[in-house]
Amino acid sequence: MSRIVTNTSANLVYMYYEQNNAALGSSLEKLSSGLQINRASDDPAGLAVSENERLQINGTSAAINTMANANNYINTTDGYLQTINDMLGQMEELAVSYNDSTMGVQEQDDLNVEFNALSSEMNDITSQAEFNSVLLFQDVNLSFQVGADAEDTFSITGTGTITQMVGAVAITDISQIQTATANVATARAQLGALQVQMNYNTTAQQTYETNISAAEGRIRDVDVAQESTNYAREQILVQSSTAMLAQANAIDQNVLSLLKQ
């Protein structure tokens, strides 16, 4: 059927040309961006899953940083407690020397001066030692977010003051100094156990972050090899539909030959 006003063939070919051209543009955009999903219409369901996974990735990454901060807190506390242990060891040496009956009064006084200076320094550590403005040796409970979800928390109980661990040590009581040393060592062991637990948690979160990042990447990132194939196909289709559009437009010219006399 020959018509001039409505060129159905040309309209149909143009429709396919527009579709192919749009597909070619989409493929080019994906290859340029490296992303399979550049807008919600590319994959609505995939976008929803991807955004949720991105939220988990970001939260987990922040939690790993938080755990690193908690580890630094523990290391700082343990470093001070190591100093306290060293001081107690020195104080025990002074106490042993003090309890030597051959010591003169002046010598004992000198030993006691050094002993009291060490004891005073312990009190200063209690009031001054801090990590990021948080006093280390107080009766406090610290909470850390160690995962992306609200329930993923970890608590560290403060060691308490040095005075609570050491007590009022005297140069005349060696056993009291040894008890204080044992108390400090116990506090360090408890912190160490918490740190071991947190380190395992950190490893688990790092593994989770790696795996969920891979899952998100499979949804969001473009498969370059596959998309290159799509791009080549769409290029051919656009070229083909362009050529056919020219042919379809030529049909009207054939109709004019019927009007010639």
Q: Detail the DSSP E strand segments found in the chain.
A: 130-131, 134-135, 141-145, 153-157
Q: What is the pLDDT of residue 140?
A: 78
CB atoms < 10 A from the CB of 248, how many?
19
- pLDDT category at 94 given cuts 50, 70, 90 is very high
Region 82-91: mean pLDDT is 94
Q: What share of the chain is helix, strand, coil (3-state, %, to 5)?
A: 75, 5, 20
Region 241-255: mean pLDDT is 67
Region 144-156: mean pLDDT is 89
Task: Let me know: does 49 contact 219? Beta carbons within 8 Å.
Answer: yes
In the chain, % of residues over pLDDT 70? 89
Q: Measured between alpha carbons, how far is 151 from 147 in angstroms, rounded to an integer?
A: 8
80 pLDDT above the threshold of 90? yes
138 pLDDT above the threshold of 90? no
Q: What 8-state DSSP symbol labels residue 138?
A: S
234 pLDDT above the threshold of 60? yes
Q: What is the pLDDT of residue 161?
A: 85
According to DSSP, the residues that pair with 72 across neighbouring strands are none
Q: What is the pLDDT of residue 163?
A: 86
Q: What is the pLDDT of residue 260?
A: 60
Q: What is the pLDDT of residue 249?
A: 66
Q: Which one, of 116, 86, 120, lies nearest residue 98 by Cα?
A: 116
In the block, residue with structure tokens 């403005």: 133
Q: What is the pLDDT of residue 73?
A: 93
- Between 53 and 254, residue with greater pLDDT: 53
254 pLDDT above the threshold of 70? no
117 pLDDT above the threshold of 80? yes
Region 16-23: mean pLDDT is 73
Q: What is the pLDDT of residue 253?
A: 62
Q: Detail the DSSP E strand segments found in 72-160.
A: 130-131, 134-135, 141-145, 153-157
Q: What is the pLDDT of residue 41?
A: 78
The mean-pLDDT minimum among 75-79, 164-168, 199-203 falls in 164-168
Q: What is the pLDDT of residue 84?
A: 94
Residue 40: partners with Cβ closer than 8 Å, 6 or more residues away: 47
